[in-house]
Structure 1
């Protein structure tokens, strides 16, 4: 573990995380586990990081996009923008005297990793998905270390130095239930609660199936909190006192701790939160996710016995209705809950923080080297 005295400058880390909660929440949790470091942030203008990154981390921005579709004029423009972004990150790293970079993948990872390595700085990448993204697969050999959310991802990165640490979650998920914010929803304490989570990409098709199933579930005594997202045109077509449709819910740790079963997409961050909450689930991967990576994530949970997996294109209302009833069978519910608990990695942020500490240069070693150099 890197320690600093009052006379030493703490190691300086640039965190590059942008776009979605799946990239940002693990990065923020990791930053919070590194209080002794000097941390600054790299993002993209007008993305979620401009709202979510805590004020104590100075935010720098670059323009960068991914390569989409077939090669053409757009590819050339994207390549030119990437080269410009690499140059800008290089200048930032040099002028800011950073000791290394940490990124959670996505488009912003490419210029960050390439700039850091061109300067001889360590680059740590965290890949949360069971099927690593294109940027991770391409640049993982250039990274100092690639930390994995799922051990299954390692087989896709044969030339990288990998270590499985799980995926960090928001700090509220690690708090004792008694200190969490109150649920503040009119739900009795003794009823089964089904929570439906659409994810950041929305889930209009799943929302429609849930509304078809809701009357039968409610007749059986189940209460429902349905997080619909804000792009569902049919959100007001069903109502019942035991059914609460909300675009989102702020205190997700409280909600998932109270829930009995979840119906959810299969983003890596959401799955991590389900595991930490010890919550059995029915997983319906987002069918348009890049390279169908949500299905790869869901298969890990299915294989462990922590979830039931259905493809959206094949799922009917009758199947979804029956799956929830089956999962609520006391014996099945207990076994699935145990399996979800076994998948949870509650100290992921700590493991990742320790990895970063070990990778960054030791300040005392640096100062000794600089003193020796100045006297030679």
Structure 2
């Protein structure tokens, strides 16, 4: 039985992928979590029943900020705090999901000669992973194209670890939650936890034509509900979902989504024909565009640029109609993907490193 330390945080996405590994890991090993003292990773790890240790951390910024002058000292402090606790726990392996909170943890583990595995979600490595990759034994990544961007011999294309419970929802429960009969296909719209103004606007501008052919589940983001549409029988708005997500996914026949790494791999694992509307470069570093292009090239998704949608919202129902006509082609492509079971693939890499085979 090994002692494995999970790290990563700053956003929920960095943590949920770690927690997706817990079921199988806890059957064989003792698991710990290390992150910042008050970040979201602390709340989620403790809720999962993991021993947690918080350290001082500093954010890694590409832009000018006075905190860039003080945060390096926090990282140095976090390094020594992490090193001491890693020794106390007698950790055998570190698995990192990335984010700035993982940097001092990985540096500390490397200084002790402990093997490190990291996971990169996006098409191109983020800054935290770029800093820590030289110290890792293996790098798991989501996209085959990413392998060529990483050190030769270290990278393994695994896909993303998806929570097991997300794959075990009930279509009947999802339909009941929305008061849908199931007679029409169900369209699910996801704009991220905060919602997407562009996607919300396009869906609502086309609500009448969409509602003729679909029952619609719209996860619109907090404070983004449109009360004037609440009485439509075919339209259900949710500002945010958590436990209900598995059932809503099972109820859905088609999905419209942003192209964040976590959500698109959920869609892939569930084999849902989908339209991806990635965040444009003006609002991001462009990784969602690369994510979407990769899924399109593999035959998993239809990509609709946000600029095109904003210029002509009527393109959305036309795009959905083409997706509907070719849904079996997309399902078949997703079924053939070796990265659909990212959790199993990542666990295999962890076990291989523990066994000394990698």
TM norm structure 2: 0.89
Verify the 8 A CA contact 1:101 1:122 in the aligned structure 2.
yes
Q: Which structure carries more relative contact order (alpha carbon 8 Å, separation 6+)?
A: 1
CA distance in 1, matches of 2:172, 2:165: 9
**Match for 2:183 among 181, 185, 190?**
190
Residue 24 of structure 2 corresponds to residue 28 of structure 1: no
CA distance in 2, matches of 1:269, 1:322: 27
Task: Provide the residue aligned with 1:73 in structure 2.
Answer: 66
Report 1:227-246 matches (<5 A): 227-232=219-224, 235-239=226-230, 240-246=232-238
Report 1:125-164 matches (<5 A): 125-158=118-151, 161-164=154-157
Q: Aligned in 2, Cα 1:263/1:269: closer, same or farther, shift over 3 Å?
A: same
- How far residue 248 of structure 1 moved from its aligned partner, in angstroms, is 2.0
Residue 80 of structure 2 corresponds to residue 84 of structure 1: no
Q: Deviations over 1:63-111 (max 9, x none)?
A: 3232224356322212111111111111111122111211111112211
Verify the 8 A CA contact 1:16 1:112 in the aligned structure 2.
yes
**Once structures 1 and 2 are overlaid, which stretch shifts more, 39-48 or 90-99?**
39-48
CA distance in 2, matches of 1:181, 1:212: 25
CA distance in 2, matches of 1:51, 1:135: 22
Report 1:186-225 matches (<5 A): 186-218=179-211, 220-225=212-217
Verify the 8 A CA contact 2:178 2:217 in the aligned structure 1.
no
Task: Provide the residue aligned with 1:11 in structure 2.
Answer: 2
Q: Deviations over 1:127-164 (max 9, x none)?
A: 12222212223321220110112111112213561111
CA distance in 1, matches of 2:186, 2:17: 27
CA distance in 2, matches of 1:345, 1:361: 23
Report 1:110-125 matches (<5 A): 110-125=103-118
Verify the 8 A CA contact 1:172 1:180 in the aligned structure 2.
no
CA RMSD of aligned residues (A): 2.3
CA distance in 1, matches of 2:283, 2:28: 37
Verify the 8 A CA contact 1:143 1:160 in the aligned structure 2.
no
Verify the 8 A CA contact 2:86 2:109 in the aligned structure 1.
yes
Report 1:227-376 matches (<5 A): 227-232=219-224, 235-239=226-230, 240-249=232-241, 250-287=243-280, 290-315=284-309, 316-329=312-325, 332-343=326-337, 345-360=339-354
- How far residue 274 of structure 1 moved from its aligned partner, in angstroms, is 0.4
Q: Aligned in 2, Cα 1:201/1:182: closer, same or farther, shift over 3 Å?
A: closer
- How far residue 170 of structure 1 moved from its aligned partner, in angstroms, is 0.8
Verify the 8 A CA contact 2:20 2:164 in the aligned structure 1.
yes
Q: Deviations over 1:23-55 (max 9, x none)?
A: 222211112221211111112244333343244
SS of 2:302's equivalent in the other structure is: strand
Verify the 8 A CA contact 1:144 1:161 in the aligned structure 2.
yes
Q: Aligned in 2, Cα 1:341/1:257: closer, same or farther, shift over 3 Å?
A: farther
Q: Aligned in 2, Cα 1:187/1:181: closer, same or farther, shift over 3 Å?
A: closer
**Once structures 1 and 2 are overlaid, which stretch shifts more, 145-154 or 289-298?**
289-298
Structure 1, unpaired ranges of 5+ = 1-9, 363-376
CA distance in 1, matches of 2:257, 2:144: 22
Q: Aligned in 2, Cα 1:275/1:161: closer, same or farther, shift over 3 Å?
A: same
Verify the 8 A CA contact 1:276 1:344 in the aligned structure 2.
no
SS of 2:248's equivalent in the other structure is: helix
Q: Aligned in 2, Cα 1:130/1:342: closer, same or farther, shift over 3 Å?
A: farther
